[in-house]
Amino acid sequence: MNKRYLTAGALAFTLAACTMGCGSKNSSDKPEAPSPVEASDPNTVTFDNGEYSFAAVITSDPDCAHGELSVVEVQGNSMLKFTDDMSAPREGKVQKIEIHPAPLIGQENLGKVRRIEFDVYADATAENYQNMDGDFVQVPGTISCGGGTVTAALDSKGRNQWYDFAGFSGGEYNFDFSGAVHGEFKFLLASAGQCWDPDMEDANFLIMRWGVENDSNFYIDNIVFFDADGNSIPLVS
């Protein structure tokens, strides 16, 4: 075979291989947006049925964000969404969601709860977050959360004592929708009555997000209640 044709063929093969390699590298180097976490426990509140009557937005405090709840799909995963109407100033604002457990696990099982786990997410709806380079980008930024609840224990005035759960945090600085930030609330003083019991008329707990760094909505998914032995408590069917 003519040496000239061999050389031309080798060059063509090299160019093709380079094109394929370069294209593959560029594709693999591109970061992928985080995906929602799938439920792993059979007794998980997944919001797949669209029900959220056990949840409410708290707006009674001066620092509360205002908005409404709905169930939405994010990448095929249903979750509870708090759509912030952005009427409250971002500085000092707290997004507060109240969850009532009795409709989920039954009134008779309230006293068994020792731990609550769930996932939260946040999105960004504007380019108001300033990154370290000084650029304004559309990301939620830091996602700082905590919560609290009324308990069966009574104070000196006969009122249900308030119990603060430990805070937790995460963040998203690359995409407009975050990955899951896992929350865990524990009744560490249950032996002193700082937990729920079946006689409580309105057991509820708050999931709160503060320090909001951008125009942003808040999402909750995968709520699971656990007993003292670490077993998940069955949901009311």
Give the domain range for residue 128. Answer: 45-226
Domains in the chain, number: 1
Tens digit of pLDDT for each residue in 87-140?
999 999 999 999 999 999 999 999 999 999 999 999 999 999 999 999 999 999
DSSP 119: E
pLDDT band at 237 (very low <50, low <70, confident <90, very high): confident
Q: Would 138 be classed as within a structural domain?
A: yes
Q: Would 24 be classed as within a structural domain?
A: no
Rounded Cα distance between 180 and 171, Å, is 9
Q: Would 153 be classed as within a structural domain?
A: yes
CATH code of 212's domain: 2.60.120.260
Q: Would 210 be classed as within a structural domain?
A: yes
Q: Would 142 be classed as within a structural domain?
A: yes
Q: Report which of residues 144 and 17 the model is more confident about.
A: 144
Q: Would 36 be classed as within a structural domain?
A: no
Locate 205 and state its tokens: 């707990």
Rounded Cα distance between 125 and 134, Å, is 19
Cβ atoms of 34 and 178 closer than 8 Å? yes
Q: Would 74 be classed as within a structural domain?
A: yes
pLDDT at 60 over 90: yes
Cβ atoms of 205 and 99 closer than 8 Å? yes
pTM for this entry: 0.87
- Kindly write down the DSSP assignment for every residue of 55-72, as one continuous string: EEE---STTB--EEEEEE
Cβ atoms of 160 and 199 closer than 8 Å? no
Tens digit of pLDDT for each residue in 195-210?
999 999 899 999 999 9
Residue with tokens 């979750």: 79
Q: Would 100 be classed as within a structural domain?
A: yes
* CA 226 vs CA 53, 57, 230: distances in Å: 21, 24, 5
Q: Report which of residues 6 and 187 the model is more confident about.
A: 187
pLDDT at 152 over 80: yes
